Chain A
Amino acid sequence: MAANVFALIAHAAGKADDSALELLSAAKSLFPEAAPTALVLGSGPGLKAVAQEVAASFPEVWSFDQETLAYPNAELIRPLLVKVLPAGSIVILPHSTLGIDLGPGLSVKLGAAYLPDVVGFDGVEGTQLKVVRQEFAGQVSAHVQGDVSKGAVVTVRSGAFAPASPSAVGTVIDKSPEAAGLSARRRFVEVVQAEAGDVDITREEVLVAVGRGIGEQDNLSLVDDLAEAMGATVCCSRPIVDAKWLEKGRQVGTSGQTVKPKIYLALGISGAFQHLGGLKGSPFIVAVNKNPKAPIFQAAQVGVVADLVELLPELTEQIQKAR
């Protein structure tokens, strides 16, 4: 199946996001013969730099330079893409907060199939594109097929595809006039940066991370005691912050902090990709979870199937004795 394949390039401060080369590799694994086109939207010198950078890996770059696109507002980008993309296009987006915002509505407006949060491709048969996804917070995987005869919008999970190495010498095509006069019923105001917390977990080498499996707020003292005995710092998954049991600065994950510890003790954390997305630098991960099927055991080096409330006091006591 011949197809027009497009990849939306996320960028900030004149640099393409890491996702750019992952999308390229996803596009190539999908349609080895296709020459994917990078879509670069924004404004000013930063955009030019990104277009040049991306042209070192994509054969073609469409650049849209408009003041209105200075901040990536999906409500502006969607109608623009609907206008410029050829019928039947395959559009690949990162499964990021921008991709999630843009993708579903884009597929509707293009009349295309929507395949979200794809972690792998399983080939194309006729008009059926087969992909691999995860469901139930990563506990099981699924093969999903989409009828792409009218095109497709695919969002790709970060880290699922190894970045392609820059190879092509691409041309940058200025498409800015196409993006003139855009307006939307949602207007960007500003970005409020996340507040810094009282501890900087990004600098810690030994982290004790607690998740929803701790059950009750009162049980957090078991985690505090263990961390104290180890001389480690406590961090957490998102539900602990949502419940206001710990401050936001201690949250590890895509919508929290990115940490690079040497040792990471994951206690009652299922291992959602948004959580693991905040763990970098291949730490030694020890996971404790009562569910032997928890996806965290795929990421961890060492696992224990246990109830935290039973294990933690014993572990703390033995560590205290061992020193």
Chain B
Amino acid sequence: MEILVCVKRVPDSAENEISVASGGADISREDLVYAVNEWDNYAVEEAIQIVEREGGSVTVVALGDSDTEEVVRREMAMGAEAGLMLVDDAFAGSDGLGVATILKAAAEKKSYDLILTGAQADDGAAQVGGMLAALLDRPYASLVNKVEVNGPTLRIGREIEGGSQELSDIDLPCVLSIQTGINEPRYVGLRGIRKVASVEIPVLDGAALGVDAAAVGQAAAKVRRVDYFVPAVGAGADMLTGSTKEVAAQLVDLLKAKGGLN
């Protein structure tokens, strides 16, 4: 099984206080901690486990700038044989369809049986996998939390509301978006990273990929972010302040008053 996994480098929202900068033109990028998108880490792990069972190889592909290399290497260190970076100034400002169009060109460089994406990334769009499948005219399933290979088809589970699992059979080749919790992504140590440090990662631009420059980037985007803002919401929470002892004392009084101590 030849598997392509799409990974994105994102600000780690669990680690960062994200704030709006330059009058809404961007978020404040100084001191941001970046990491691989949480969902993509599960997708890479799943691909590696499939290859360990069925044979084949895993390629990790990322569209971004040159800083993306650290993320690609980290994911390769998990056990992906190859990496691929898609870098071109002309890609900047692409909408979901633009990103999917560029990834499609990369996917067509080789014949992959299976393409995995994460269920969603930092802007919560959950769109690129489904768009890529439609562009490639391949069957698609989102929010996948189980993959079992049965010859030319996969038995897959999709996570649906309430945590129930919807089982289906899907024909290969196909595209799946992977949900967290499907596996336990392996730990990557320094040794693992060192092992892949000298593996060459091809960097492809629009020309090398053969993508029509007019079909991607800001100019082609049907969907554009106008600005970031902090919504004027209701009162928000009453914030308790003071030393740890003082705050704890206030919480005890509050919990008592509200019936929170059984």
What is the interface of chain A, defined by CB distance below 8 A to chain B?
73-75, 96-97, 100-101, 103-109, 113-117, 130, 132-137, 139-147, 150, 184-194, 205-206, 212-213, 230-232, 238-239, 241-244, 248, 251, 254-258, 262-263, 265, 270, 284-287, 291-293, 297-298, 300-306, 310-311, 314-315, 317-319, 322-323
Contact = CB atoms under 8 A, between A and B. Distances in A.
A126 to B, nearest CB: 14
Interface stretch (B70-78, B83-91, B134-142, B200-208): B134-142
Nearest 8 Cβ contacts at the A-B interface: A104-B130, A231-B262, A303-B237, A108-B134, A105-B134, A185-B139, A194-B163, A242-B181
Contacts of B231: 132, 141
Contacts of B248: 311, 314-315, 317-318
B239 interface: yes
Contacts of A132: 231
Contacts of B119: 100
A133 B134 contact: no
Nearest to A158: B161
B124 A134 contact: yes
Interface stretch (B1-9, B50-58, B187-195, B219-227): B219-227
Contact of B161 (A147, A192, A254, A297): A254
B181 A231 contact: no
Contacts of B256: 322
A19 to B, nearest CB: 11
Contact of B141 (A186, A301, A303): A186
A287 B237 contact: yes
B227 A143 contact: yes
Size bin of chain B's contact surface: 35 or more
Contacts of B230: 140-141
B186 interface: no
Contacts of A241: 181
Interface string B235-254: 01111100011011101101
Nearest to B166: A191
Given A243-B184, A303-B237, 8 more contacts: A97-B158, A101-B143, A107-B97, A116-B125, A139-B18, A147-B222, A284-B260, A298-B237
Contacts of A136: 11, 13, 16, 18, 27, 122-123
Interface of B: 11, 13-14, 16-20, 27, 96-97, 100, 119, 122-131, 133-135, 138-143, 155, 157-171, 174, 180-181, 184, 222-231, 233-234, 236-240, 244-245, 247-249, 251-252, 254-256, 258-262
A105 B133 contact: yes
Nearest to A307: B244
B261 A323 contact: yes
B13 A114 contact: no
A104 B134 contact: yes
Q: Give the interface SS of chain A, mostly helix, strand, loop or mixed.
A: mixed
A286 to B, nearest CB: 7
A114 B229 contact: no
Contact of A144 (B128, B160, B181, B224): B224
A98 to B, nearest CB: 8
Given A108-B134, A232-B262, A242-B181, A97 B142 contact: yes
A185 to B, nearest CB: 4
Contacts of B161: 96-97, 254-255
Nearest to B155: A189
B238 A301 contact: yes
A256 B160 CA distance: 10
Contacts of A104: 96, 126-131, 134
A315 B256 CA distance: 13
| A212, A258, A285, A302 interface centre (most CB from chain B within 10 Å) | A302
Contact of A322 (B227, B244, B252, B258): B252
A144 B168 contact: no
A38 to B, nearest CB: 20
B248 to A, nearest CB: 4
A317 B262 CA distance: 16
Contacts of B170: 185-187
A185 B174 CA distance: 9
24 contacts: A75-B140, A97-B142, A97-B160, A104-B96, A113-B223, A116-B125, A117-B126, A130-B226, A142-B226, A143-B227, A144-B224, A144-B225, A186-B139, A186-B168, A188-B167, A191-B160, A191-B166, A255-B162, A286-B254, A292-B17, A303-B239, A314-B244, A319-B261, A323-B261
B30 to A, nearest CB: 15
Contact of A256 (B139, B163, B166): B163
A293 B128 CA distance: 28
A91 to B, nearest CB: 14
Contacts of A230: 255, 260-262
B19 A140 contact: yes
B252 A302 contact: no
Nearest to A323: B261
Given A140-B228, A286-B254, A206 B236 contact: no
A143 B174 CA distance: 33
A105 B117 CA distance: 14
Contact of B180 (A146, A242, A258, A291): A242
Nearest to B229: A141
B126 A191 contact: no
A96 B164 CA distance: 13
Contacts of B223: 113-115, 144-147
